[in-house]
Structure 1
Amino acid sequence: MDSGWIPQTSWRPAPLADGTYYWRVMARDEIGNESEWSVTRSFTIDTTPPTSPSPLSPSDGQAVGSQSITLVWSQVVDASQPVAYTASVSSSPNFSPDLRSSGWIYSTSFSLTLPEGTWFWRVMARDAAGNTGQWSTVRSFVVDISPPETPKVFSPTHQENLPASRSLAVFTWSRVGGPSPVTYSFRLEPIENEWRSTPDNSVTYDNLPDGLHIFRLFASDAGGRSDEASYRILVDTTPPGLEIGHPENTPITSPSRRFLLTGKTEPGSIVEADNVSTVADENGSFSLELDLSGGTNTIHLRITDRAGNSSEHVLTVVLPEETPIWPLLLPASAAAAFLILRFLRPARGVPRKPRHRRRRYR
């Protein structure tokens, strides 16, 4: 492309496509003398905007446990160097309003301080030709510097510290933490030594052995770890036993209609027989007074422990048919005999009648 001889010191060529071009100029006077060509110069036509940078760090949705944030993005390669960038940060995904902007900078990172919360960011490039690209994909991150509160643990299957006859236990807990995602770590002692983790707020254990079990739990997020919570349950699936110092399948002979049954079982158990009941003391000892009928008496004994487990026992007690009632009336009979003896004795000071002796005749 040539301008031809023109009297001006500038020339506008026809529109050029993007690319690099070289140009030079020479002069000619009125009598036709021509100068040498000037030094060759180059220029670039660039009407294409740069591509959008790629946000690199923090990653999308990342939780950050610090208020000091550094945004990092990829470098853009463009025909017109150097490339400048601007980053925008907002608490709204619509970026209205922008909380903070880096302005046009030539670095691929931007540092700032933010309060706790969820933040959105994007970045744009501009080349040396002044072409401005599009905003990058919007990314988010969470600033969280506060550890979560201690969760509160519950169980719909077991009251804390009270025995229950269920071997299946469910533990639930309150959700805590934020704004970053929370992970709950838990274990059930003594059957577990290692911690397990879940984002949920419940866990179920089945086929637990009898005994004391302690459920431990803590919450953690980007801001730190909570204190540990615990919940104690007692699993008891074993029916209560009975000790009466006499084989259950061997009849017991009672000397009286009033029969006192004593024995031992699980402490706190309810012992019932013939509409009579009592509670075993903390040592497991109990006693029941039962009225017997003459002959063979069958006593149905039911024992229910604190967990709700029950056992049934059958005892045979024999009261001999000829057993008189007098053992029950013995105190009254003794008193009557005593009174009779008192009435038969003469009072003091009353002369006794002379006794006549029989004479014996030979």
Structure 2
Amino acid sequence: MAVFALVAQPLYGVITPNVSAATVVSETVSGDTAEWMFNRDASTSTPYAFTNDAVKTGPGSLYVKPIGANPKDKFIAEYFAKTAVKDFKWVKYDFKIAGNGTGADSDNFYLNVYATIDNSNEYYDCRFDYVPKVAAAKTRTATFNANATPVHVQKRGSRIAECPTTLKEMPAGSYVRALAINVGDTTASDQGLAGYLDNVQVRKATTTYAYDFAPLSAPTLVAPANDATVNGKVLVNSWEPVAGAAKYVYESYNDAAMTQKRWTETTTKTSKSATNVAHGTVFWWRVKAVDAKGVAESDWSSLYKVTIDNVGPTQPVLSVKDSNGDDIASGGTTKSYSVTTYWSNVGAANYQYLYWNNIANDPYNSEAKAWAPMVGQTTSRAGEFTQGEGTHYIKVCAFDLAGNKTCSDPYTIVYKKDIEAPSVPVNGAPNDELLKTNEFDFTWNESTDNEAGDLKYEFRSSQDKTKVGDAPDGSGAWESGELSSPKIHSSGAGDGIWYWQVRAIDATGNKSAWSEVWDMAIDTKNPTLELVQPQEGEVFGAVDKKTIRVEAKLYDEQGLGSYNIKIDEMDAETTDDADATVAAETYPGPVSLTVIAQLNSDDFADGEHTITITITDKAGNVTTETRKIVVANAVVVPGGGNVGGQPQGNSDDGDELQERTDRLNRPFPLPNSFGIVPTPELVSQGDKEVLGAQKTPDVDGAAKNVAAIPTEEGWKLFGMLWYWWLLLAAVIAAISAWLIAAAKRRAADNA
């Protein structure tokens, strides 16, 4: 029989075992490990497998398949002992001859021991070969110790002069580097030989290391559990790692009979991930383990079923009741310390109750920090506001079997020990007033509250009435913020109508309703007055200019209050009221008015007179304008006599003429004795009474408007004026005739 050594190459994965006194360390080997390598030299390899067949110890054994026709074909199992020769006691292993082998082929199951003279990385210095004795039995145990005589000793290199005859005799400090169990002797005679190896034991000092060859264990599937319903957005199938496995084969099917393969994949990981698996998908999956060489394979794992559910439960609807069983609306306020939250049963597999608040320094003061216990399938939970006053939030999430989550809308509750609002402010001022200044105070009565503490107020105002009243906060009105007293000073507000209101706030933040809307107006501009007639310095009193016409145009943006006409500091009445009311409304808006009064110059003494018009708007702003006129009634007329004075010659009515002369020279009379009644005119006043017309008592004593008509005295004066006009015309005619005659005489002389 020829014995051949291992091919020279570096040893792999050498380790030093942790030796404990009188102990047995057992390990199942199902492929290459740090201590074991199988058929490391591929050029002489023979197929093998870890199998459940021919078990001597443990769950299985290593099966070496029939050796091929190539003389180099064989099988080698290497064990890296890495132990001192002095500690190496013995090695034994079970083998079974199979294939076309007989008991005589036991020498094909031999052992090589590789030793070095020191603990170095040398391949070996001396190799000791041991061969089991030939016997008829095909199942046997081979045992060798350090004192056994090998069938062959092989020296390598020059580090040692000569190898000893036994392993025990190696120089002090020598090491056993590796053991190699061989099947086949690299001759043609071993063709067709097969066999099993099992239960290898190596004794180092006082510890026995026992190795059982067995197939790789089938992977144990972890998740999803069999028949689980899961979400398919990110699906992870996972399993337990298998000792000796270097990779895994994953398979999935569309049917339990595994006739419709869905997916197959080889991975070194212990999980398989998929994303966006369609809702409603149902599939089955399994995994098997494979060693690094792809030689050793485990059985398939169990077959698991998975159902994909990507749709969450129905959204829960919440309601909350206080300690009296009364409902608290979301966003509402309560003074109940204890509340109970209820939610609709949506058939969820589990519910989660979330609570948080907005209270500073509280551990649950944001949704991210919410207290969130899982509460199973209950549909209510009681709680107390132990965190104190503030805004509290509650939310409930429903989970289905797939882990899909649907949450309710947050339920908001404001907890306050005092929830009663103060009284609504009343008696705001100014109200229904028109002011001529924008520097003033808004004031109102102080509100009352059920709890002690200082009250504050909020004020808002706008020139757009829709932005106050029932308008919500932030509607666009000017808002003051909190005020410490029931008043606020206004400074610089624009002209026009302003609408305003206030509300009260107590110490705990309860707010009253907004007050009624009060209104007021500001008018800081004087009214406009244009005095059209008479002109400055205009002369009245000639025969053709006896009427003094006073015409003025009045205007104000916020409404006129009154106007007044004076002649030389004496009121000239245009109605029965010297300060005529122009409009009764508080805020009449823009008003235009034309006033006309007609006076007779004969009612005034000759000389200079002053006409003064004063107008006042609704806010009290005043505008005044004056005109100076000249009255010249006594004018000399050709032919003698005075126009406006006593006529030449005798008169049958001397007393009447004297009365007229006295009247023209007496101080300015009251307007109701004028020869012509003044007739002011009112423009653009709709159906209002015509202001400025004379009012006279009716038969029943009531005042009525009458037109302006001449008096009896006026008719007499009118006749005198015609007399003097005729006299003046005669004088002018006589002068003209004289001038014509003189011109004719001059012409005759020239001829």
Greater relative contact order, per chain length (Cα 8 Å cut-off, separation 6+): 1
- Give the TM-score range, shorter chain: 0.3 to 0.5
TM-score relative to the length of structure 2: 0.24
From the CA coordinates, give the structure whose radius of gyration is larger: 2
TM-score by length of 1: 0.46
Q: As a proportion of its length, which structure holds more helix?
A: 2
